[in-house]
Amino acid sequence: MSKRIISAVLPVLTLIGPACDEVEDALAAEDALAAPAAEAADEGVSARAGSCATMYEHWHFEGEAKEVDAGAYVPWIGNLWNDVVSSVRVRSGCVLNVFEHVDFGGAQTSYQGSVPFVGEWWNDKVSAYTCEC
């Protein structure tokens, strides 16, 4: 390839690269939001046998992990985990119930199976939980 062609194409590639990255990030975010239903059926297992669920600090089960025992009834998740949870894996046959505020106050939702992103509204909002198997 001649130097003239390279010098003409390089500025265009420099401009296109970041735009492609933004599209790729947007598609990944869409996949994360659509994935819970698709993955729930095949990945409803927790990392530790006998546990009910595992909560994760970041999307797609990344970052620190907090194991949740079967039968857990926790009115306060604690300072380290308050408003931190972004994804969860719930063992098959179990249900993780999360609450917006301490003492099971505020909004509540339930999760089953693998949830790589808890959703915009619930991201970093969990303050209390129960888990039943």
- With a CB cutoff of 8 Å and minimum separation 6, the contacts of 7 are none
Which CATH number covers residue 22?
A: 2.60.20.10
Residue 16 contacts residue 23 (beta carbons within 8 Å): no
Q: What is the C-alpha radius of gyration for the chain, rounded to an integer number of angstroms?
A: 20
pLDDT of amino acid 50 = 76
Beta bridge partners of 90: 53
- Model pLDDT for residues 85-104, shown as the tens digit of each residue: 999 999 999 999 999 999 99
As for how many domains the chain has, the answer is 1
Sheet holding 95-101, edge to edge: 73-74, 128-132, 95-101, 105-111
Domain of residue 40 covers 1-133
Claim: this prediction has a pTM higher than 0.75? no
